[in-house]
Chain A
Amino acid sequence: MPERPRVYRTDALILTRGPLGEADSVFTLFSPEVGKFDAVARGVRKAQSRLRGHLEALSCVHVQLATGRTFDVITQVAPIDPFRALRDDLEKGALAQYVAEVVVHATAERHPQPELYALAMLTLSALAAGAPSHVCRYFEVHLLTLSGYDFHLDSCALCAGRLPPEGSSVAPQSGGLTCEACRGRGGPSVGVSSRAIKALRFARAQPLPEFMALRMDADLASELEAVLRLMVRQVVDREIRSARFLEQLRHLGPAPVGRIDEAQAAAEAMEAAGAPPGVH
């Protein structure tokens, strides 16, 4: 293995952030050139840190790193796209975290996957720009392909026979759709409607804007979500934890009108309290 340079620069998507020691944080970065890797930022939890403002999960940055023993150390950061919209909206943020978690589990350490990077960036940008939640389905369909999983959508994955309009099911262990006759032969499977199959094919064949424009009712959206969750589970071989949070959010009911009032509330409160001394 060639010796790694002492200092290097790269673009990176910050997938996760966790505390380390007293004031450091450890980040999982995903870079088109390096792949997924962990890096540490020293003192970044302190108010004086100059790196602090830009280093946040789900933002895209340009970083300079120094090669370290256990972790590479982040020495400089410049923002590329902070994806602020993902932080200001609970649903968007939760979907983006789901995407980030899938990327974490679908990638190997320091194994460059520029196409997956591009896909993740495309998905997060779309989410930040207000895309409907089914852009995550597009992400999943293409993630499967990029992970080397050939999702059989055009014929039965077991007998290669034609798929009848009804009665098909999806069997993750067999590699995709199976016809009625093969049902149950290729591991656990769930039934799938013909319009869901069409939507999956559409997602695979068309660019994202076309797929986003697809009108999707709640039934179809949740069917696709369930089918792809199974498939993704097969590829990453574990439960995606953020998916549970997405469920919980759904139970919470719609967003109340207006956002949390910040400055206005502060001003009002100070007025009401007669602005006590010492509070600025």
Chain B
Amino acid sequence: MTAQSTPEPITRLIEAFNRLPGVGPKSAQRLAYHMLRVSSAEAEGLATAIINVKRRIRFCSVCLNITEHDPCGFCSDSRRDPAVLCVVEQALDILVVERTGAFRGRYHVMHGALNPIAGIGPDQLHLRELSRRVETGEVREVIMATNPNLEGEATAMYVHRLLAPMGVRVTRLARGLPSGADLEYTDDVTLARALEGRQELT
């Protein structure tokens, strides 16, 4: 029905938008018709931005972060400590860790977490690159900054098993109460972890 009444380029654009995450058929239609109304310059700007992302952005050969220049800014920054690696599930997580301002080491992006049921095993993560970095002996500590869920925990444990024989220290982010939380509303699992990870007042 729509295919007949709507010109072909528009249906193609709608289909393309529809494939984006979080965009349903209605939103896709709205976006496509919006693109008709905007100026050519703006539309071309969007198109070039997308093309540039695909052409110029690649994975850093050291840490697999997304970057324009290889190696990426973190890996080539000599002020950052190469002996401490923070291992994250996705490149976006680097931004989150960076925002804390509390980490001055380097990163490693696995691009996923172990999820055997979904068919994501160790081979699908960039662990070989991580092993190679640790094998050089330059790394003293590997911090597993994976999500505190089943997949993230399994990944942390797996990496620990993988790297421990190389004599590197593997740590993971502490889990517990978020700042400003109310003890009364905390779930048992989190509170139990918080108790385990309690710290002495100094």
Contacts and interface: CB of A to CB of B under 8 A. Distances in A.
Interface of B: 22, 101-102, 114, 116-119, 121-123, 141, 144, 149-150, 153-154, 156-158, 160-162, 164-165, 169-172, 174-175, 178, 185-190, 192, 196-200
Nearest to B162: A252
B13 to A, nearest CB: 23
A90 interface: yes
A16 B156 CA distance: 19
B188 A260 contact: no
B160 A256 contact: yes
Given A21-B22, A260-B156, A262-B196, 10 more contacts: A79-B188, A90-B157, A90-B158, A90-B161, A245-B121, A252-B162, A260-B170, A266-B174, A267-B200, A279-B102
Given A260-B144, A261-B171, A262-B196, A100 B154 contact: no
Given A263-B174, A266-B171, A267-B200, A56 B150 contact: yes
Given A94-B116, A242-B117, A244-B116, A263 B198 contact: yes
B117 A256 contact: no
A269 interface: yes
A168 interface: no
Nearest to B190: A53
A101 interface: yes
A255 B161 contact: yes
Contacts of B186: 53
19 contacts: A17-B149, A50-B185, A53-B187, A53-B190, A56-B149, A84-B189, A101-B117, A241-B116, A242-B116, A252-B162, A260-B160, A260-B172, A261-B169, A262-B172, A262-B197, A263-B197, A263-B199, A265-B169, A276-B102
A241 B150 contact: no
Contacts of B150: 17, 56-58, 87, 93
A201 interface: no
Contacts of A276: 102
Given A87-B153, A269-B171, A253 B187 contact: no
Residue from B22, B189, B200 having most chain A Cβ neighbours under 10 A: B189
A82 interface: yes
A104 interface: yes
A88 B193 CA distance: 11
Interface in A209-240: none
Contacts of B196: 262-263
A50 B174 CA distance: 20
Given A56-B150, A58-B150, A84-B189, A248 B121 contact: yes
Given A260-B172, A262-B171, A241 B187 contact: no
B117 A16 contact: yes
B154 A90 contact: yes
A185 to B, nearest CB: 35
A52 interface: yes
A254 to B, nearest CB: 9
A104 B185 CA distance: 33
B147 to A, nearest CB: 9
